Amino acid sequence: MILEDIVQVQAPSKKAAFLAAARRAGFQLAGVAPVEALEDYAIYSQWVTNGLAGPLDYLTDHRGPLRRNPRSLLQSARSVLCLGLLYNTPGPASHSISRYAWGAGDYHDVLRASLQSVANELTSCWGEFDYRICVDTAPLLERSLARQAGLGWIGRNTCLINQPLGSWFFLGEVLVSVELEPDSPPPDRCGTCRRCIDACPTQAIVSAADGGWRLDARLCISTWTIEQRGPLPEEARAASGPLLFGCDICQEVCPWNRKSPLSSVPQFQPLHPEPDLAELTALTPEDFRARFRRTPLWRTKYAGLLRNVATAMGNSGDQTYVPTLLRLSQLEDDGVREHALWALRRLELNC
């Protein structure tokens, strides 16, 4: 449900109280999913079995079976409160960092605090009940639950898409021991559109035997630039282009994002959507910690960022980066050194 459509609460029901609390906490989307075994678990399980998760070990570890049913995380759960927080902000048309990481804060902290605000208000309204707050670190099939709760459909790019508001959303959940009337999934409105599939520079959106589409994380630039440690395969280096952290291409070309509204959350406002490459190579490990410790870019680690910078320099065709790359090629880290040498060879070929 889109919360801006709620003019006033007509009935003092528990569900109405939830929607009102969600709106006051700053969420744009809210709905209720039932607590039951998820049909989409079979899709997730096959995705893992087929090896499409690549190095994303946190999605394939021992917690995998917990994703079958939300009750695995809270035995007394009767409903799942699903919420969406917009993170879209204005920024440069060409950028090297994924939009969700433009701000100064860690979205996990912002999202968790907003979910806690909802839980606190509901405790005051409903009385005591069991609950558990979940962000994307919890073993839940978040997009499947959000679809069940009516927040949107899962597009071919595997993102949750809301018809009027698009896909630039962080998702969060509150498992509660209170039974609320569940919402219904919306229809899939991707139609015959293939823009995300055709725009992906690495063809990471692959067809499945059931006629649907899956993300092959082994081919995804976001995986390469954020999760993969050490040197990347050579084919991954050129395909990454100027990207330093993540990739938004499949969302940027989505027609449903043409009129996506902007977030007013202070922590999401652009701080470094397009940093200077040479400046980044001058950062010490201490500088990196001070600048990025409380942001999503911390995930890639210091060596990973330097490796990605070297790759972007090699793909730039800019010969002025040669001295910097020569310096990076002398560093001890295998990934940084190998990518710097690769970048030097690439620039030499482009002379």
What is the reported pLDDT for 33? 98
What is the reported pLDDT for 1? 67
**Which tokens hold the place of 175?**
């498992």
Least confident of 196-210, 268-282, 319-333: 268-282
**Which tokens hold the place of 261?**
């509204």
pLDDT in tens, 263-302: 999 999 998 778 899 999 999 999 999 999 989 999 999 9
Q: What phi-psi label fits residue 62: left (phi over 0), alpha (psi between -120 and 50 degrees) or beta? A: alpha
pLDDT in tens, 230-252: 999 988 999 999 999 999 999 99
The secondary structure element, H or E, covering residue 336 is helix 334-349
What is the reported pLDDT for 9? 43
- Across the chain, what does the average pLDDT equal? 94
Q: How far apart are CA 83 and CA 171, in angstroms?
A: 6
Burial (0-12, 13-18, 19+ Cβ within 10 Å), 257: middle
The fraction of the chain above a pLDDT of 70, given in percent, is 97
What is the reported pLDDT for 276? 93
Residue 10 has pLDDT above 60, yes or no: no
Residue 160 has pLDDT above 50, yes or no: yes
Catalytic residue status for 183: no
Of the pLDDT bands very low, low, confident and very high (cuts 50, 70, 90), residue 317 is very high
What is the reported pLDDT for 94? 78
Of the pLDDT bands very low, low, confident and very high (cuts 50, 70, 90), residue 6 is low
What is the reported pLDDT for 173? 98
Contact (CB, 8 A) for 129 and 166: no
Give backbone dihedrals phi and psi of 300, rounded to 5 degrees, phi first: -80, -15
What's the average model confidence in pLDDT over 70-99?
A: 94
Residue 12 has pLDDT above 80, yes or no: no
**Active-site residue, selected from the candidate residues 136, 183, 210, 334:** 136
What is the reported pLDDT for 271? 82
What's the average model confidence in pLDDT over 174-195?
A: 97
Q: Closest Cα partner for 64 from 43, 34, 84?
A: 43
What's the average model confidence in pLDDT over 140-148?
A: 98
What's the average model confidence in pLDDT over 213-239?
A: 95
Residue 225 has pLDDT above 90, yes or no: yes
pLDDT in tens, 88-130: 999 887 789 999 999 988 999 999 999 999 999 999 999 999 9
Least confident of 4-18, 251-265, 269-283, 331-345: 4-18
Residue 245 per-residue DSSP state: B
Contact (CB, 8 A) for 307 and 339: yes
What is the reported pLDDT for 307? 98
Cα distances from 15 to residues 24, 125, 178, 329, in angstroms, run 14, 11, 10, 59
What's the average model confidence in pLDDT over 319-334?
A: 96
